A and B are shown apart, each in its own frame.
Chain A
Amino acid sequence: MRAAGWGRRTVLFVWVLFALFPVYWTFITAFKQQVDIYDGPRFIPFVDFQPTTQAWRTLFGDGGGDFFDKFANSIIFSGVSSLLAVILGGFAAYGLARHSYKYGPYRNDDLSFLIVSQRIMPPIVSVLALYVVFVNLRLLDSSFGMILAYTAMNLPLTVYLLRTFFEAIPVEVEHAAALDGYPQWQRLARVVFPLAAPGLAAAFLLSFFFAWNDFLFSLMLTFNDAQTLPLYITSLNAQSQPLWWLISAVGLVALVPPAIVTVVLDRFMARQVLIGGMR
């Protein structure tokens, strides 16, 4: 191993320590008792403090009903809305990449900007209006409403991201598929979507993260049945003193689905390297 290699490794090692420390801290906190948390920092289990599974027993035991509901909500809302955003956004982006639209003075780039502009505005600006709409449509605190809200929130992102992916596919490849005997839908299924797979995976991943981490919509548009994990975590903070051990345990569990989604989709995103040289 060369000296430069060691230098690089040292830097990376320090960085990993830095990046992983909060995760470590959350992890050990989830196994602490109240006294270990409030009585000064305790770093090392079995040495500084005696770990306990009290938080986990509360979570997965009798006190866990609420937790499972919110966890399921988060997974369903994030998963379904991201899927919808990728499908609907994919078709919109394909249209923008391949067809020329003309609505009065507006062309493809204007439409594209119009769609993206929905995301430029801070969500806090629109959430009050959205609240009023939800009240009138009786969508407050409903699963359907939340999926709708997250899909709408993520559509601008997926349209914007996927348009560039579709535009990068040479139109001749689609023409070749047409002449080879594949009708429009088959061309999409057999050629266009496989080639755009890295983009579709990336769009799903980002949508999932945004929906998973959302706090504002959940805060404003739900109060009980359709509440998501971030809101549940906050509720643990709302009593006389924060229940840090519980908060940490939920936080750890909340890390798992995005991690799984990332690992699964990462393989599709890596395909880009393989494909290369499309032109």
Chain B
Amino acid sequence: METLTVTGVTKTFGGPRPAVDELSFTLGGGEFGVVVGPSGAGKTTLLNMIAGLVPPDTGEITLDGASLAGTAPERRDIAMVFENYALYPHLSVRRNLEFPLRAPVRRGTLSRSQITDRVTQVAETLRIPHLLDRLPSQLSGGQRQRVSLGRALVRRPRLLLLDEPITHLDAKLRHEMRTELKRIQRELGVTTLYATPDQSDALALADLVVVLDAGRAWQVGTAADVYERPANVTVARTLGDPRINLLPGRRDAAGVTVLGQRVDADHGPAGPVTVGVRPGDVELSTEPLAGAAAGRVLLAQTLGYQDVVYVDVEGATVRATVPAGIVARPGDPAWVRLPAARLHVFEAASGQALRHREVV
């Protein structure tokens, strides 16, 4: 159970802004941390720095209280699962799994039979014993992913890094592997840091979420923290599917004005604000509604269990989720009401949160 701390870590590759900028967080021993952010956010750079493949410019990374600076990657005992799996193509699955156990740094620590036992054990955990004699080129994407995970786990690393391990799997397999990952991580109790562009991975898996964008950590907290109480617009935008509505508004002593409607929320000094409201909190009606803004349906998509309706209100597009089966055709009139208790309010210029949605 090794605690990972990242303190003030910065890395610049010569671009206009740092790839990773003054990043700090602490991941407790045995916890599952998820770094979520779009491509180019600096996720891979962060993992590479923790792994020792890329040296940070400044800042400190410690594992179990000891600084990793100056420790070569092969001596860190950190395992990583790569986005493209990075299996050894010239070695069979069995040899791939044995590879870390036969490494020079572990010479003499395991006997031949112990290595065999470990490989058998991890193959069973990952349900791949029947694939042991194949070459990576003879495996499907999902199978390669399992072998890659097995190679990372077989030596019981101090820290497990996962770089978008399931991004390239198809949707069904992705859900299956996600559940599987959680199960295995719980069973082994290995401290895990998982990088993904998929916000649903973060909400489903994480004990700790780090929202990363443009190299900066915009919020660090539990899944509930970052989803229910986003510290700023970037975090609100990153988490939730369909995405949160972010609408221009004004705040004054009487409340907030948004979509031309006055909402009795967040009284405060006057100024422009950004109002955030989750599509599920938007009240949508095909009949006129008290305190609602009038608009027109742009598009309706069904997700099966619910529909996402896009409504144009005074030039702004509002996304609302409604139970499946409510018929909304493009061009239909629609009324949108934003319940006061459900609004997030952010300062317009800085994007900092002024007020959070009340949790029921």
Interface residues of A (CB under 8 A from B): 170, 172-173, 175-183, 186, 191, 194-195, 271, 274-279
Interchain residue pairs with CB less than 8 A apart (26): A170-B84, A172-B82, A172-B86, A173-B87, A175-B53, A175-B82, A176-B87, A176-B88, A177-B88, A178-B52, A178-B72, A179-B74, A180-B79, A180-B103, A181-B100, A182-B104, A183-B74, A191-B88, A194-B90, A195-B90, A271-B90, A274-B137, A275-B89, A276-B137, A277-B137, A278-B89
Q: Looking across the interface, which residue of chain A has its beta carbon closest to that of B82? A: A172
Instruction: Tell me the complex Cα distance, A31–B87, Å.
Output: 57
Instruction: Tell me the complex Cα distance, A179–B79, Å.
Output: 6
Q: Looking across the interface, which residue of chain A has its beta carbon closest to that of B48? A: A175
Residues of chain B at interface, number, CB under 8 A:
32
Name A275's contact: one of B78, B80, B90, B155 (CB within 8 Å): B90
Name B104's contact: one of A179, A186, A274 (CB within 8 Å): A186
A247 to chain B, nearest CB (A): 45
Name A179's contact: one of B80, B87, B88 (CB within 8 Å): B80
B333 to chain A, nearest CB (A): 52
Name B53's contact: one of A178, A180, A181 (CB within 8 Å): A178
Q: Looking across the interface, which residue of chain B has its beta carbon closest to that of A183? A: B74
Instruction: Tell me the complex Cα distance, A279–B105, Å.
Output: 27
Name B103's contact: one of A181, A274, A275 (CB within 8 Å): A181
Also in contact, A279 and B90, with CB within 8 A (given A179-B78, A181-B106)? no
Instruction: Tell me the complex Cα distance, A279–B168, Å.
Output: 12
Instruction: Tell me the complex Cα distance, A78–B115, Å.
Output: 44
Q: Is there an interface contact between B100 and A180, defined as CB atoms closer than 8 Å? A: yes
Chain A residues, CB < 8 A from B165: none
Q: Is there an interface contact between B90 and A175, defined as CB atoms closer than 8 Å? A: no
Q: Mark B87-125, 1 if CB is under 8 A from A, else 0.
A: 111100000000110011110000000000000000000
Q: Is there an interface contact between B84 and A279, defined as CB atoms closer than 8 Å? A: yes
Instruction: Tell me the complex Cα distance, A172–B73, Å.
Output: 13
Instruction: Tell me the complex Cα distance, A223–B78, Å.
Output: 61
Name B74's contact: one of A172, A181, A275, A276 (CB within 8 Å): A181
Chain A residues, CB < 8 A from B106: 181
Instruction: Please provide the chain B residues from 37 to 75 with a CB less than 8 Å away from any CB of chain A in the complex.
Output: 48, 51-53, 72-75
B196 to chain A, nearest CB (A): 17
Name B89's contact: one of A175, A179, A181, A277 (CB within 8 Å): A277
Instruction: Tell me the complex Cα distance, A172–B90, Å.
Output: 15
Quick check: is B278 within 8 A (CB to CB) of the other chain? Answer: no
Chain B residues, CB < 8 A from A180: 74, 79, 99-100, 103, 151, 155
The 10 closest A-B pairs by CB, nearest first: A181-B103, A172-B86, A180-B100, A181-B105, A277-B137, A178-B73, A176-B86, A172-B82, A275-B89, A278-B89
Chain B residues, CB < 8 A from A177: 88, 99
Instruction: Tell me the complex Cα distance, A67–B155, Å.
Output: 60
Q: Is there an interface contact between B137 and A275, defined as CB atoms closer than 8 Å? A: yes
Q: Looking across the interface, which residue of chain B has its beta carbon closest to that of A187? A: B74
Instruction: Tell me the complex Cα distance, A271–B91, Å.
Output: 12
Quick check: is B215 within 8 A (CB to CB) of the other chain? Answer: no
B193 to chain A, nearest CB (A): 13
Instruction: Tell me the complex Cα distance, A194–B48, Å.
Output: 25
B94 to chain A, nearest CB (A): 15
Q: Is there an interface contact between B53 and A170, defined as CB atoms closer than 8 Å? A: no
Chain A residues, CB < 8 A from B75: 181
Quick check: is B247 within 8 A (CB to CB) of the other chain? Answer: no
**Known interface pairs A175-B48, A178-B74, A186-B103; 19 further A-B residue pairs with C-beta atoms within 8 A, sorted by A's residue number:** A172-B82, A172-B83, A173-B86, A173-B87, A176-B82, A176-B88, A178-B72, A179-B73, A179-B74, A179-B78, A180-B74, A181-B75, A181-B106, A183-B72, A183-B74, A271-B90, A275-B90, A277-B89, A279-B84
Quick check: is B136 within 8 A (CB to CB) of the other chain? Answer: yes
Q: Looking across the interface, which residue of chain A has its beta carbon closest to that of B83? A: A172
B343 to chain A, nearest CB (A): 44
Chain B residues, CB < 8 A from A275: 89-90, 135, 137
